[in-house]
Amino acid sequence: MLTTQTLRDLGYCFYVGSILLVESDQETCDGWSVALTKAGHSVLRAITMREALPAIRDGGIDVVVIDAYDPTRGVVELARAVSALPDSPPLILISGSPSAPEISARIGAATFLPKPCEPAELVHAIGRLITDHRPVQVFEDEPTGSTRQYS
């Protein structure tokens, strides 16, 4: 039987969102951006961590993806600033640095992806993250008055 969980496990995204990519390499950012756009997400870009914070503070960002060549530079500060915001978006850290998994855990990233990270892998991770973090909506059936949950 095909269930919602099975579809999620296969990488289907039930919700689309606004994704902020913090990536200094234009070619990598282009590849990820195209894949995310094809999946239905809207994509904003920031080249530096310093550029990312105002976009996050403005609101409307569902997931922040940080590609950190050196995750010791700026990532911790950005994560602290983001987590201090009300309704802060979850973070995904992408890095090839040997220290990145530990830093990812320390900053409370929702997901860590090692480099190289294929666009399809990023789309899948974001889809699962958005689906898992969206609140369940409850609708009332008008004719019967019964309640159904859709997630």
Domain that holds residue 30: 17-62+71-132
What is the spatial distance between Cα 144 and Cα 81, in angstroms, rounded to a whole number? 47
Q: Is residue 77 part of a domain?
A: yes
Q: What is the CATH number of the domain that holds 92?
A: 3.40.50.2300
The structure's pTM equals 0.76
Q: Is residue 11 part of a domain?
A: no
Q: Is residue 5 part of a domain?
A: no
Q: Is residue 49 part of a domain?
A: yes
| Residue pLDDT tens, the chain, 151 long | 555 455 555 555 556 789 999 988 899 999 999 999 998 899 999 988 888 889 888 888 999 999 876 565 688 888 888 888 888 899 999 999 898 899 899 989 999 999 999 999 999 999 888 876 554 444 444 455 544 444 4
Q: Is residue 141 part of a domain?
A: no
Q: Is residue 10 part of a domain?
A: no
Helix axis angle for 119-133 and 26-38, nearest 10°, is: 50
Q: Is residue 148 part of a domain?
A: no
Q: Is residue 55 part of a domain?
A: yes
Q: Domain count for the chain, please give it.
A: 1
Distance between first and last Cα of the chain: 17
